[in-house]
Structure formats: C-alpha cells, structure tokens
Structure 1
Amino acid sequence: MSHDFQTDIDAVARIDAVNTILNVICQTTGMGFAAVARVTEDRWIVCQVLDKIDFGLAPGGELELVSTICNDIRDSGKAVVIDHVAEDEAFRTHRSPLQYGFQSYISMPIVRQDGSLFGTLCAIDPNPAKLNNPVTIGMFEMFAQLISAQLDSVDNVSLARAGLASERQMAELREQFIGVLGHDLRNPLAAIGSGTNMLLKTPLDDKATRIVTLMQGAVVRMESLISNVMDFASGHLGSGIELAKVRGDMRPALLQVIEELRLANPDREILARIDCETPVHADPVRVAQLFSNLLANALTHGAPELPVEVEASANGGSFLLSIVNGGEAIPAHLHAELFQPFSRPSGSAGRSGLGLGLYIASQIAEAHGGTIAVSSTADETRFTFSMPTG
C-alpha cells in the first residue's frame, strides 16, 4: 500500500465523528457492515470500518475495484441504493453481490470541495433492508458531506493553525450533525407516532392492535436512540449536557417514563414505588431521560421472566432513584466500563442499542452534581442515581 493511501487512512481516522456515523448507520438501517472507503481509478481501500458480520476487512484492507459497485459509482458519481439484490433488475446478476454475498447495499459518494471523488460511505448486509427512502438517503448524503468537509479542513489548514480552524469546523459539523438527526429523523418519526395514535383510536382487530402497539414501542425506542446520539454528539464535540433546572415534583416525569416503557415492552412487568413529594431542584426532562436510559437498560439486559423494580425517594436532602433487575450478574471489574460510550453489559452480544444509554445517563447525573452507582449479584443488578434535592 502506498504512502498516499496511508495518509488518507490517517486523515479519516482523525475525524472523531466517523465512528459515531458508522454506529448510527448500522443501528438505524439494521445493517451489519459500514465503512468509509478510498476509491481511485484502480484501487478500493478501507479507511474506517464497523464490521458486525465478520466480512473480514479492517482499515487498510483492499478489495479488487472491478469487483465492487463503488466502481460504478466512481464512473457515475451517483449513489447506489439496493433494498433487495435478488429483486433488483439492475444488480441481481452483478458480480459484487454474487461474490460477496450481500442482499442490501447503499453507497454514497464522498466528493471533495474541488469536485474530485475521495471515495464512498457504504453499508452492506446479507439480508434485505429498507434503504430506498428519503430519510436514509438524506442521512447518508449529510454524513458524506460531513466527512468531505473535515477532509478538506485537514488538507487546507496548516498544523500551526489547526487548533483554531478545528474549533470552527467542529462547531459547524456539530450543528450539521445534530440538524440531520433532529430534523431528518425526528420529524418523520413524529409522523409515524401520530399515525399509530390515530390508528389505535379506530376499530382494529386483535392482530392489528398488537402490530400498531409494537410500532408505538419502536417509536419510543427510536426517539431514545436519537436523543442519546444527539447528546453524545453535543458532549463529544464540545457543548456538553445542557440543563434547564426548576424546583418541582419529580413524580410526573418518572411516571410518564414508566408508562412509555410499559407501552414499548408490553410483555414485561415494571413495579414502581415512587415516594418523592419533596420538591427537587433539577431539569425534569433530563432526569426523565436518565431514568428512561436506566430503565430501558434493565428491561433489555435483565431476565425477561422477572419484573424490573423502580424505587424513587426525595428526603434528607437527597433524591434517590434505583432500578433493579434480575438475571446474570455483571462482573465487578466491568462496572466502570459500563459508562463508557458504545459499551454494553456482559452477555449483551447481539442486543439492540448503540451502547450510549448508560454513558448519557452518567453525563446527566454529573451535570446535576450527582452520581450513578451499580451493584450486581446473582440475585439482582441495581443502578442507583443520587443527587442533592437543593
């Protein structure tokens, strides 16, 4: 591999947002492989990759260019989106899916400021996926633009001026990144949520009611994922967790979270003991987000046959919120790692989620001057958030 390609790989590696972008792509599309690739007239080389399907490529890995659909994209300069290769007239006999065994594919060109093609932002999976829609395509377009903008910044700014230029560029990238997630994903999600609410007000048979209820649960879960990614982007790129503190009763916010997650998990039992009449000086929206992340974590990783218990109290100058689930104990040496971004509890391989919930919860706790403690035995796993009431 030539020095120029290593320079390209290093340039992409220096873009902090790329790892988050690849994680968001896999989680929102359900696909198992996403990558940023350098594409030239005769080479296809991976610069950064997230591989959950053991495709076998790492940064610096190379595929024969003519065996890839990116070769077509290099010629046309246009994205290629395939929901199901076997049903796609243009690509069902193409060499690439036949050779590499994928059924869904999306690749967006990364075009530099001077109009030249750097490469592609692409994703594949052995199963079909719903990709050919404005939300997914718009997300890929914006992510490709973000990568291109940062690559241009790396090229155009000297090392002596990199600090100031990077700060300005990161501010722009943050606003664009959050704008994509906040507008292009949340607006259609809100429409889906409104549609399911309307459907449940009409006469439906039992099967249709179950399906619409599951859709409502998926909307709640997706809203949580979007909020976590937006907060991670804000915190990781500089602005941190913002609070709007008021003094008031925390019960309505906690009860709303419980009802939302009961809706999203109709087969799970949630037992709640809420005793917090003492007013608390906090941001109720952020505390509800923290609680939602902890409770969703317990429902996801706890034993499904056992109830999840919630205890909340506000007295003696402290607000305490505990979430308890049964199931396999989390080893003590892993407790600190739980609150790192993209981390998941032991035994969670294959479970859904970005691995940001506990990290965001810990940041919200810290912003309130509080802490989250974890204890785990064969009998129960308990996460406890504590903060001053004043």
Structure 2
Amino acid sequence: MQQYRLANFIRDNMEPILQEWEDFARTIEPPALTMDDEALRDHARLMLLAFSADLDSAQSDQERVTKSKGLGRRGHGDSAAETHAEARLLSGYTVAQLVSEYRALRSSVLALWGKTVEGNREGGMGDVMKDMMRFNEAVDQAVAESVARYEQLVKRSQNMFLAILGHDLRNPLGTLVSGSSFVMQAADIPPKYILAATRMFSSAKRMSKLVNDLIDFTRSHLGPGMPIRARQGSLVAVCGQVVDELRTFHPERRIEFQAPPELDAVFDDGRIAQMLSNLIGNAIQYGSADAPVKVSLSGNDDEIVVVINNQGPPVPPDKISSIFEPLVRVAANIHGDQAERTSLGIGLFISREIVLAHGGQISVASNAENGTTFTATIPRNPKKTRSTDVVANLPGRVAP
C-alpha cells in the first residue's frame, strides 16, 4: 500500500492543523497569537500550502543543504513568510513572538502527522523521514525569510524616526543659535550675560552638528547615498579654513598643516569640509594632548590625498575593521571635557560616505610607533552623473 505523504496530509487536514496551532500557541510565553484575527490566521494557511508545494517538488542534495541554512531559492514577489512578518510587525509583535509562531506551526503539523503515521504502519518509513526532513527545511526557510523581513522593516522605521526627529530639531536649534548670537553682540548688557550667551551658542552649535550628522546618517540609509554637489575649487583653501576653525575651538591643541600653495579639484566644498572636520576632530579627541595632530594635503594630475595623523594609544586590531561602521566607538584613553567628547559615534561613517560619494577611498592604519593615520584619496575630476551633481553610487544603491 502506498504511504500517505505529508504534503497530502497537510492539505487534507488544514483546519485541524490550524486549530492545533492556535491551541499550542496559547501555551507559549510570551503569548504570540491574536486569536480573533482571521486575516493573520490566513497567513498560516498560505504558508502551509507553500510547505505542501515544496514537499511535492523535486530537490537535489545541494538544494537541501542550502535550504536547511535558510538560503533556499526564492520566487518572484514577496513570500507568504515575508507577508506574515510584515503583518505581525504592524500588529506589534516582537521577533521572539514571531519565531514562536513557527515553533507552534511546526509542532502542530508534526504532532498530528505523528499520530497518523503511528496509526498506519503500512509502507516504508523512508518516505516518512524524508517528508519530515523536507518539512523542517521548509519551515527553517520561512523563519529566515520572516526574520529578515522583520529586521529590514524595523531598521527602516528606526531610520525614518531618526530622520523626522533630526529634521524637526533643526528649527528650534536655529532659533537658539541666532538668539544667542544676537545677545553675544550686544554692548549694553552685563558681561555675565554675554558669557552665558556664548556658552549657549557653543552648545547649540554642537547640537546642530549632531543633528546634521543624524540627518546625513539616515539619508545614507534611506536614500541613494550621500548627495554631492561638486564644482571647481581650491582644496588648500577649504582645508586651511577647517584647520583654522579647529585651532580656534581647541586652542590648547597643536594642529600642523602642510599643503602646496595651490591644489584645485572638482569637489563639494561643504562636504569635504565636513569630512575634514570629522577626521581632524576625531584625531584631537583620541590623540595625545602633548603631541600635534598632523594634516597634510598632496596631489597629482589624477588624485588628491589627505592624510591626518595623531599620536596616542593605537586602535586595537580587532576594532580596525569596524571603525567606519555607524554607532561604533573605539574605547581609548582620551582626555578633555567629557561634554565636548559626547557624540553619536557616526562621524567616521559620514566621512567615509563623503569620500565614497566623490569616487574615492579612505583607509586607516594604527600602531604604537606611528600613531593613527587616516588616508583619504579622491579623484581630482570625478565623473559626473548629472551636470552639477556627483551622487554616491555605492553597492546596492542606485543614483536618482
């Protein structure tokens, strides 16, 4: 007698399986099901049908191994597992609750299937074991798809929240900067108020930088990359201006600047100034207070090279590979005002995005003998994707 196959069993017993799934899910901690939500219950039905179709299809050994790792071949459009993850996120489910649903679904199918197989021992057991393996592989693939989609949507919503927050903070901060600047220039008020306004102005400017970094961070994650508006200009002038500003802001530190008399290129002066400010500021923050920060600018007919060096404790080797990743801070023995060192930890990430957006590369080397050195190389005349814009074209991003 031909063995009753699991694919047919699932299709023939859809409602009992779904009921078993709900009953089992009631015992899960934390509770994972909205019991009266028929739309979400239908997602389980769609997944069971997908599992049945998978069981009916032929599969090679390589496909089996791939699927067991959650990397099975995808069809066109969203899978039932991805649609389910999206709906569960909108319903307020955690990822732990999402995964627990698959545990319940797997348990309900195998429990009912086990009773059927136990009551019908005719035919070989080889097909039973094969069906169980295939079913578990299909469930693992669905879990991987659901978790990946859930994580993607969570990251997208987080970035959207940060973008809105940063945008909404700009106006009140602008008012604070303008108002404190106005008070600083007044000649008919006591010096103590001028001092208070100066401190307000400095704090507001630091907050504005944080907000701008936050907006750049979310823009690079939500959009096509860092927008660059390039035009002919003097890199020596831009770099010199940034160095002078940081010397004024950090009078206790020595910043050495070496550059040729002239070095023109096609670049976004605002973005390059932002990149230089981030890198030099990082060198000041993490470098030794008794050693200078060295900034050098050089170039040839094809490219510009910016080198920023500071002495001090080297970056640990296991941190080098992630130093440009967002929200990663390297623990170091640094000195100075704690309030001034507070940041989001995305300055190096933004610097890398700016360099890549110009078609360049940035690297870092760090050891006890030579200190920490950031080297940014950008082309003197990057290829333009539009008449006045050069737009980042990073992997997985498409220029608008």
Task: Name the TM tier (shorter chain).
Answer: 0.5 to 0.7
Given candidates 371, 374, 379, the residue that maps to 1:388 is 379
How much does 1:237 deviate?
Answer: 2.9
Given candidates 287, 305, 310, the residue that maps to 1:302 is 287
Q: Is the 8 A contact 2:313 2:333 kept in 1?
A: no
SS in 1 for 2:323: helix
Give distance in 1, aligned partners of 2:296 and 2:351.
Answer: 17
| Larger Rg over CA atoms | 2
Change (3 A) 1:5 1:289: farther
Give distance in 1, aligned partners of 2:151 and 2:321.
Answer: 31
Residue 329 of structure 1 corresponds to 314
SS in 2 for 1:217: helix
Residue 284 of structure 1 corresponds to 269
Give distance in 2, aligned partners of 1:336 and 1:161.
Answer: 29
Larger relative strand fraction:
1
SS in 2 for 1:235: helix
Give distance in 1, aligned partners of 2:190 and 2:255.
Answer: 27
How much does 1:385 deviate?
Answer: 1.0
The answer to whether residue 145 in structure 2 is matched with residue 189 in structure 1 is no
Q: Equivalences for 1:24-103 in 2 at 5 Å?
A: none
Q: Equivalences for 1:236-385 in 2 at 5 Å?
A: 236-275=221-260, 277-347=262-332, 351-378=341-368, 379-385=370-376
Gaps of 5+ in 1: 9-148
Give distance in 2, aligned partners of 1:371 and 1:6.
Answer: 49
Give distance in 2, aligned partners of 1:317 and 1:357.
Answer: 27
Given candidates 86, 90, 97, the residue that maps to 1:152 is 90
Change (3 A) 1:171 1:279: same
Change (3 A) 1:241 1:269: same
Change (3 A) 1:323 1:371: same
1:314-349 deviation per Cα after TM superposition (whole angstroms, max 9, x unaligned): 333211112222221223332112111111223168
Letter in 1 for 2:176: I
Q: Is the 8 A contact 1:276 1:315 kept in 2?
A: no
Q: Is the 8 A contact 1:217 1:264 kept in 2?
A: no
Change (3 A) 1:240 1:196: same
Give distance in 2, aligned partners of 1:2 and 1:275.
Answer: 73
Larger relative helix fraction:
2
Q: Is the 8 A contact 1:323 1:384 kept in 2?
A: yes
Change (3 A) 1:176 1:338: closer
Residue 201 of structure 1 corresponds to 185
Q: Equivalences for 1:101-112 in 2 at 5 Å?
A: none
Give distance in 2, aligned partners of 1:150 and 1:303.
Answer: 51
Give distance in 2, aligned partners of 1:347 and 1:168.
Answer: 34
How much does 1:274 deviate?
Answer: 3.7
Counting matched residue pairs gives 247
How much does 1:206 deviate?
Answer: 7.0
Give distance in 2, aligned partners of 1:291 and 1:312.
Answer: 11
Gaps of 5+ in 2: 1-25, 34-86, 99-141, 382-400
Give distance in 2, aligned partners of 1:162 and 1:374.
Answer: 34
Give distance in 2, aligned partners of 1:320 and 1:291.
Answer: 12
Give distance in 2, aligned partners of 1:306 and 1:314.
Answer: 26
How much does 1:294 deviate?
Answer: 0.7
Give distance in 1, aligned partners of 2:90 and 2:283.
Answer: 43
1:240-262 deviation per Cα after TM superposition (whole angstroms, max 9, x unaligned): 21111222222343334334434
Change (3 A) 1:232 1:305: same
Letter in 2 for 1:292: S
How much does 1:358 deviate?
Answer: 0.8
Give distance in 2, aligned partners of 1:251 and 1:150.
Answer: 54
Q: Is the 8 A contact 1:213 1:263 kept in 2?
A: no
Ranked by relative contact order (alpha carbons within 8 Å, sequence separation 6 or more), the top structure is 2
SS in 2 for 1:258: helix
Change (3 A) 1:179 1:346: closer
Q: Is the 8 A contact 2:160 2:218 kept in 1?
A: no
Q: What's the TM-score, normalizing by structure 1?
A: 0.53
Q: Is the 8 A contact 2:324 2:349 kept in 1?
A: yes
Give distance in 1, aligned partners of 2:316 and 2:331.
Answer: 8
Give distance in 1, aligned partners of 2:321 and 2:177.
Answer: 36
Change (3 A) 1:153 1:290: farther
Q: Is the 8 A contact 2:247 2:253 kept in 1?
A: yes
Letter in 2 for 1:356: I
Q: Equivalences for 1:156-175 in 2 at 5 Å?
A: none
Change (3 A) 1:326 1:169: closer
Q: What RMSD in Å do the two structures reach over aligned CA positions?
A: 3.9
Q: Is the 8 A contact 1:327 1:380 kept in 2?
A: yes
SS in 2 for 1:191: helix
How much does 1:300 deviate?
Answer: 1.4
Letter in 2 for 1:334: K
SS in 2 for 1:292: helix
Give distance in 2, aligned partners of 1:254 and 1:352.
Answer: 24
